[in-house]
């Protein structure tokens, strides 16, 4: 899938599957949140409504990155550090933009939307696919155990707003 038209909505296809059902479901949720932001911009919902969707997208992205990084760490993914650095860079960039939007120094625009769509699709098709291939090649089949462990960790930490470390 190419995202050339900055006004096109994201459409999930199997092309984006990394072969890990829970991660694929989270990626679908990220697609939906980006599409919600798209609709809010198209419908001229205003900065406050768009910022609310962006905030939800950022919060969910942090949760997703945490789970993804947990899987890579537990599965001894060799590119773990580099992948985490990409996640960290995106979060820093988006949080800085989020702060500008909340302070009135920037507006949510189609350029932001285009950036988010492009980053998400390229990241999944490039970086995330790599760990999918790695886990498939190494026959890492303990995803159910990982899912249970990571879900429990999220439930415990959610009470403490664990994502604030970013």
Tell whether the model's pLDDT for residue 18 goes beyond 90. yes
The CATH code of the domain at 24-165 is 1.20.120.50
pLDDT in tens, 84-97: 999 999 999 888 88
pTM: 0.80
Band the pLDDT of 162: cuts 50, 70, 90: very low
Residue 4, pLDDT score: 41
Lowest mean pLDDT among 71-85, 103-117, 148-162: 148-162
Band the pLDDT of 50: cuts 50, 70, 90: confident
Which residue has 């026959």 as its token pair? 139
* Average pLDDT across the chain, whole number: 83
Residue 13, pLDDT score: 95
Residue 9, pLDDT score: 84
Mean pLDDT of the 42-69 span: 90
Residue 142, pLDDT score: 57
Band the pLDDT of 106: cuts 50, 70, 90: confident
pLDDT in tens, 113-161: 889 999 999 999 999 999 999 988 886 655 555 556 555 655 555 555 4
């Amino acid at each position: 899938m190419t995202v050339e038209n900055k006004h096109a909505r994201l459409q999930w296809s199997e092309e984006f599957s990394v072969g890990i059902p829970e991660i694929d479901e989270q990626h679908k949720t990220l697609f939906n949140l980006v599409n919600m932001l798209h609709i809010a911009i198209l419908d001229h919902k205003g900065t406050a409504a768009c910022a609310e969707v962006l905030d939800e997208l950022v919060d969910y992205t942090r949760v997703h990155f945490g789970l993804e990084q947990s899987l890579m760490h537990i599965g001894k993914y060799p590119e773990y550090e580099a992948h985490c650095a990409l996640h960290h860079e995106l979060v820093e960039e988006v949080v800085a933009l989020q702060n500008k939007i909340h302070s009135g120094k920037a507006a949510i625009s189609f350029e932001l939307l285009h950036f988010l769509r492009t980053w998400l699709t390229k990241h999944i098709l490039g970086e995330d696919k790599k760990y999918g291939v790695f886990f498939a090649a190494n026959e890492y089949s303990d995803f159910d155990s990982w899912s249970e462990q990571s879900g429990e960790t999220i439930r415990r930490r959610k009470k403490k707003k664990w994502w604030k470390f970013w």
